[in-house]
Chain A
Amino acid sequence: MNLNWMAWTQPTAIFFIVIACLLLIFTVLALKFPETPRRGILTIETTRGDRLFITLLGSAFINAGWLALSGLPQWWALGICALYAAAVFRWV
């Protein structure tokens, strides 16, 4: 199968593989350890999958904001995203 038209690059391939692995891990977790939704500081019911979605979407905006406003290396934004992810999984 020729995938040249998709213009793949190594970084974007790694990016999608990481996302796919996250989805896979969370699917397996949901099957192995079913959970009841809980309410956190957002006062909405969330499951692990919801929290992953909130983390990924928020991380995209953190990265975009960092890129637009800071002018510092983009890796630092990844650090902030990790803190944000920990906060989401702990309190949301």
Chain B
Amino acid sequence: MDKVQNNKAWFLVLPVLVLVAFSAVIPLMTVVNYSVQDTFGNNVFFWEGLGWFQEVLTSERVHAALGRQLAFSGIILAIQIPLGIAIAICMPKRGFWASVCLVLMALPLLIPWNVVGTIWQILGRTDIGLVGYALDKVGISWNYARNPVHAWVTVVIMDVWHWTSLVALLAYAGLQSIPQAYYQAAKIDQASRWKVFRYIELPKMQGVLLIAILLRFMDSFMIYTEPFVVTGGGPGSATSFLSIDLVKMALGQFDLGPAAAFSIMYFLVILLVSWVFYTVMTNLDKAEGR
């Protein structure tokens, strides 16, 4: 059945548009204005042209931060997506234990970012933290404040602990929506467990997994609070991801012009990635709907 088109429905979106104008569009316009000027405070600005963009685009510091950011997002996606699927498959499908699992899985998602950072900052300490103390006792001198590898491992494990549940819950929802008839057909054909996963579960979870990848990518690409609380972007700049570097530039150094140019490039990358994911998802829906 064809959908009825009524353009008057657009007026219902008007309140959201007004809200977005104040919360996003006007601040973004201000950032664009800042990006072509220089300021020393007191609301006095000097024309700079495209100089800040050139500086940011050719800056080794920004390139390094982008590299670290992509590496971080890549690593956490490579861990969280398979792990989330595995957990979802292992979770009970119904009954008391299904509810217990769901509540337990949802717990890390409810904890605020800065609390997660503090938890892992304490856990990793060798004097009062369980993980740091245990590692120290087995001969690994754990120090995320001095050793870049330790800092990375801590930040990655923290993110995996915090967000794998989200992937697991989404994958679980995807699994629950598969009709029993598919499994019965697979049983009749004597399909192996792997084949059931590969040809039934994985294709049926495709939609939710894409959403999970999009959410996790975007969130990890913007990560700030957790690594800031644990490592402060250090040691050196080993865990200075894009947003941490951006805040250092904007608030630490008060370089508002370069920071604004940096934000716009950051925004464009996020916009591009979101558009690619959105396009893939909507086309997938249309392909399934046909």
Residues of A whose CB lies within 8 Å of any CB of B are 4-9, 11-12, 15-16, 31, 34, 44-45, 53, 57, 60-61, 64, 67-68, 74
Contacts and interface: CB of A to CB of B under 8 A. Distances in A.
A7 B47 CA distance: 10
Contacts, number: 54
A4 B36 contact: no
B50 interface: yes
Closest 10 CB pairs of A and B: A68-B57, A7-B33, A6-B30, A7-B45, A12-B33, A60-B268, A44-B279, A44-B283, A12-B32, A67-B54
A15 B32 CA distance: 10
A61 B268 CA distance: 8
A34 B7 CA distance: 11
Contacts of B37: 7, 9
Interface string B78-120: 0000000000000000000000000000000000000000000
B275 A67 contact: no
Contact of A7 (B43, B54, B265, B271): B43
B272 interface: yes
A20 B7 CA distance: 20
Contact of A45 (B29, B53, B58, B283): B283
Nearest to A31: B7
Given A5-B30, A57-B268, A61-B268, A68 B39 contact: no
B286 to A, nearest CB: 7
B275 A57 contact: yes
A11 B32 CA distance: 11
B144 interface: no
A57 B54 CA distance: 18
Given A12-B33, A16-B29, 11 more contacts: A7-B34, A7-B43, A8-B33, A11-B36, A12-B29, A12-B36, A31-B7, A57-B268, A57-B271, A57-B275, A68-B54
Interface of B: 5, 7, 26, 29-30, 32-34, 36-37, 39, 43, 45, 47, 50, 53-54, 57-58, 265, 268, 271-272, 275, 279, 283, 286
Question: Mostly helix, strand, loop or mixed at chain B's interface?
Answer: helix
A60 B57 CA distance: 13
A44 B287 CA distance: 11
B118 to A, nearest CB: 35
7 contacts: A16-B32, A34-B5, A44-B279, A57-B268, A60-B268, A61-B272, A64-B265
B122 to A, nearest CB: 41
Given A16-B29, A45-B283, A60-B268, A9 B57 contact: no
Contacts of B5: 34
Contacts of A4: 43
Nearest to B10: A27
A12 B257 CA distance: 14
A7 B57 contact: no
Nearest to A61: B268
A64 B275 contact: no
Given A12-B33, A67-B53, A7 B39 contact: yes
Contacts of A31: 7
Given A53-B275, A60-B268, A64-B57, A6 B26 contact: yes
